[in-house]
Structure 1
Amino acid sequence: MIALRAGWRRGLILLRQSFSNGAELFAHVFWPLLMVGAAVALRGRDFGAFSLGALAVPGILGMNAAFGMVSLSQQLTADREDGTLLRARATPHGMPAYLIGTLLLVGGGLLADLAVFLVPAALLVPGLVTGGLGTWLTVAGLLALALVATLPLGVVLGAAFGTARAQGLLTLPILGLVAISGIFYPLAALPGWLQAVGQVFPFYWLGLGMRAALLPDAAVAVELGESWRHAETVGVLAVWAVAGLLLAPVVLRRMARRESGSLVAARRERALRRAG
């Protein structure tokens, strides 16, 4: 409970700082509204009986939720470089509190971005099913499950890269997985072996769940088996959530044990040389 309270306080402080920083606040507003503009620009174009704008909205939600793991890995790498992780290790209950606070920072910022995108998109993009309370509860529940399924994986990925520059290489394979996971188009359009690979990872199920919540029932005709596969969606995301929550604390502790003041000083010196 001590670690939970400390982590909660740390996360709220970091979130408040994030939303009070002009540059970060601009990013929280600009990029979601830019994606709203893209979805609105597509509303006059059709894919079969459906608007491309309506089809794009669930995909954008799913993609951004999936990329939360990249943001968390970047945050973890930055905290390791500047010594934040080392200071957390030296504090009683510091590592659990650090993990909780960082998850709250990244998850809270991501949810704010998605809200900035989804609210105007629901008003401006025709063809979405957004009239009932059940739709919004489904979207909220799916997003919560998606964050629990993907954010702990960001801890694991962040531990695999020694520097922020090396961590940037993570974006390319994640984009590749998104490309074969049917977030923006039906997975049935891909070859069978790519369909099998795409269904292993949480991205496909996140996109499928968003389409099930926000698109008309007739849209299920282009999905695998012509089914929204609700039980499978919850089951696969839950498996990834459990695996991530079990693995992330272990990986974080092992990474923190390898940290030392000399390593932090060496990283800082290298960063100053690059800046110079």
Structure 2
Amino acid sequence: MNDATAALKESVGQYGVWSAQLRADTPAGAAERADAVAELERLGFGAVWLGGNSSARDAAPLVAASSRVVVGTSIQSVWEHEASAAAASFAELEVAHPGRFVLGLGVSHGPRVAGYGRPYAKMTGYLDELDRAGMRPGHRVLAALGPRMLELARDRAAGAIPYLVTPEHTARARERLGEGPLLAPEFKVVLDTDPSRARATARAFLARYLELPNYTRNFLSLGFTEDDVTGGGSDRLIDAVFAWGDEDTVRERIAAFHDAGADHVALQVVEDAPAGTLPREGWRRLAALLA
């Protein structure tokens, strides 16, 4: 493990927050987003991961609004951002706030990208360009699910940030990565003890992801069936990729990822709320149960 990866592991700590709502770069809501990330830092989270196709531009105001928390993209699409521009944006933010921004890269999904093809080759070419632009591997992580991309995360980045996975996937990923690289899976949490209501909230949220073959193939590789990945997801699948229930249950579900080899877990609070709403009370409850 090199010094940059070791420093990243120490900075992000055991827990972070994953949020698409914090990604927005429009003026409306900017003050609330800045206040929210400062509060997340006070609550003890080590990292904030910006969902969607995010970039250094999205991260910059959040980095400026806080003093310690690491802000990462989860992910920046290699199809929609030029590598040279990504390297330049990283360098600018690194000069202003050393060690506070990490570039999370991903190949996105075929249904969302025109001309999608050969994602592994696209990622390797992108990393080549970052290398030529002077960006070191220790400042980037990859959204890796399958074996080849995990090996790329091991060999040419600081580690992996898998999305929509289980502890079983985390154990496989740790074996593929080895002990050195950062392994920081995302995990969804519904803070509700009612089974029917919690699963309904989770199922409504999960449905969009089950339209994406990268995720469904990964679920099938983990032993789920075609029946599990249709109709918004079976109860079995919902219960595997979401934590819900009382505080002890949620705490145990999160701990299972660490037990399986995760260094850090990026926690996404899922609520039945209008789009764009920051789940600030949920973040507070989550911090309290992890304290």
Q: Using structure 1 for the length normalisation, give the TM-score.
A: 0.25
Q: Which has the higher strand share?
A: 2
TM-score (norm 2): 0.24
Question: Taking CA–CA contacts closer than 8 Å with sequence separation of 6 or more, which of the two structures ends up with the larger relative contact order?
Answer: 1
Answer with 1 or 2: which has the greater Rg. 1
Bigger helix share: 1
